Amino acid sequence: MARFRFQLQPVLDARVRAEDECRREVAVLEAERRRLEDRLRAGQASITGAREDVREALTGSVRPEALRAQANASLACMRDAQRLVLELAGVHRRLETARSALADAATRRRAIELVKERRFEAWRREQDRREQAALDELATNRGARAARLAAEETF
């Protein structure tokens, strides 16, 4: 039996590879986003903890050097948090671009897949037509043979 051969299969394979590459890029950026968000949450918890420490240090006897150290540590945490927020904004922009590229790659791949499906359906209809023609030919030959045998028997 004949096998379907899609002439544009190399194009489809290349588009699948391009889509996979875009998908990998999105996954890498998603992992980076999650990592930055986790670090930001940890930094926020650290800032909250530092504020609680400062509040506790303000009760009873106050040690200015301890308060200064706590304030400096808190400022450093806030600076780190601000830097992480800026990094996260950059990752979000790159992630949006990568997702858009992934959507475009998926659209281009799907377009070739639709062509493949249409060509396969046309090929299958042609195969069905040929098979039906062959069956019709067999039936016609069988009918002609039966008519010839019937005619020979009457003689």
Angle, CA of 102, 106 and 111, to the nearest 5°: 150
pLDDT(70) > 90: no
**What CATH architecture applies to the domain 9-154?**
Orthogonal Bundle (1.10)
Please answer whether residues 127 and 3 qualify as being in contact, where contact means their C-beta atoms are separated by less than 8 angstroms. Answer: no
Provide long-range contacts, Cβ within 8 A and 24+ apart, for 31-35: 32/91, 33/88, 33/91, 33/92, 33/95
Give pLDDT, residue 136. 92
3-18 burial: b if 16+ Cβ within 10 Å, else e: eeebeeeeebeebeeb
Neighbours of 50 (CB within 10 A): 19
pLDDT(155) > 70: no
The residue with greater pLDDT, 33 or 154, is 33
**Tens of pLDDT, residues 5-53:** 999 999 999 999 999 999 999 999 999 999 999 999 998 888 888 788 7
**Which DSSP letter does residue 127 get?**
H
- Whether the CA torsion 93, 99, 103, 109 is positive or negative: it is positive
C-alpha 24, offset from chain centre: 8
Please answer whether residues 105 and 16 qualify as being in contact, where contact means their C-beta atoms are separated by less than 8 angstroms. Answer: no
